[in-house]
């Protein structure tokens, strides 16, 4: 059983139980809405910046896909910025809700870290076969998750922000809707 492939193919659905728990047990405060909202915004910007450089292939759900090796923008600091953005968003939503704080957020962090660990391992195998030596050099110079301080590819271009926001439209709508529901819970309590 290939956990990386299973998690990769279901990664759009695995946050649903977390979001349901966040909404059902939400106890937001003004402070949690502000801090959590800022964290969600940071995560969404990291995701959009990543997609602006990697392109729409990041939306693939059926199989690992990469028509080219992306080493620019956030990929110049870490090999997996989209997943960092995702976890940041999930934690921000958890903070906004204050549901079972901090236990639900810690459980989410552990679950998503395990999920992305397996996804990343699968992607790395695919990318190594797909790109060979250039990918090996990238592996040697850019950390898996914890960003480096200086860019590996400082002349990597600006990315396509218009395409990124168009590609991320559904995701942004989901974050916004979830955030608005948490705000409504605060107002109606």
Domain regions of the chain by residue span: 3-188
Q: Is pLDDT above 80 for 163?
A: yes
pLDDT at residue 56, as a whole number: 74
pLDDT at residue 32, as a whole number: 98
How many whole angstroms separate alpha carbon 134 and alpha carbon 40?
33
DSSP state of 79: S
What's this model's pTM, rounded to 2 decimal places? 0.93
B/e letters for 138-159, b = 16+ CB within 10 Å, e = fewer, are: beeebeeeebeeebbbeebeeb
Mean per-residue pLDDT for 162-187?
Answer: 94
Question: What stretches of the chain show up as alpha helix (H) in DSSP?
Answer: 3-10, 15-24, 30-54, 81-97, 103-131, 133-141, 161-167, 169-188
CATH of 3-188, one of 1.20.120.1630, 1.10.1200.10, 1.10.4100.10, 3.40.50.1000: 1.20.120.1630
Q: Is pLDDT above 70 for 60?
A: no
Mean per-residue pLDDT for 119-135?
Answer: 93
Q: Is pLDDT above 90 for 55?
A: no
Phi, psi (deg, nearest 5) at residue 72:
-105, 175
């Amino acid at each position: 059983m290939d956990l990386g492939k299973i998690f990769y193919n279901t990664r759009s659905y695995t946050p649903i139980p977390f979001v349901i728990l966040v909404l059902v047990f939400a106890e937001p405060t003004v402070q949690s809405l502000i801090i959590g909202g800022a964290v969600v915004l940071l995560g969404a910007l990291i995701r959009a910046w990543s997609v602006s450089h990697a392109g729409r292939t990041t939306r693939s759900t059926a199989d690992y896909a990469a028509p080219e090796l992306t080493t620019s923008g956030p990929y110049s600091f870490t090999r997996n910025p989209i997943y960092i953005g995702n976890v940041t968003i999930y934690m921000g939503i958890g903070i906004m809700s204050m549901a079972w704080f901090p236990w639900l957020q810690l459980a989410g962090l552990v679950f998503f870290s395990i999920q992305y660990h397996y996804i990343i391992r699968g992607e790395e195998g695919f990318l190594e076969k797909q790109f060979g030596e250039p990918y090996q050099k990238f592996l040697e110079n850019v950390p898996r998750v914890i960003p480096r301080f200086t860019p590996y590819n400082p002349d990597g271009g600006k990315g396509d922000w218009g395409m990124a926001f168009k590609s991320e439209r559904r995701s942004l709508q989901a974050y916004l809707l979830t955030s608005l529901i948490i705000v409504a819970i605060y107002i109606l309590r």
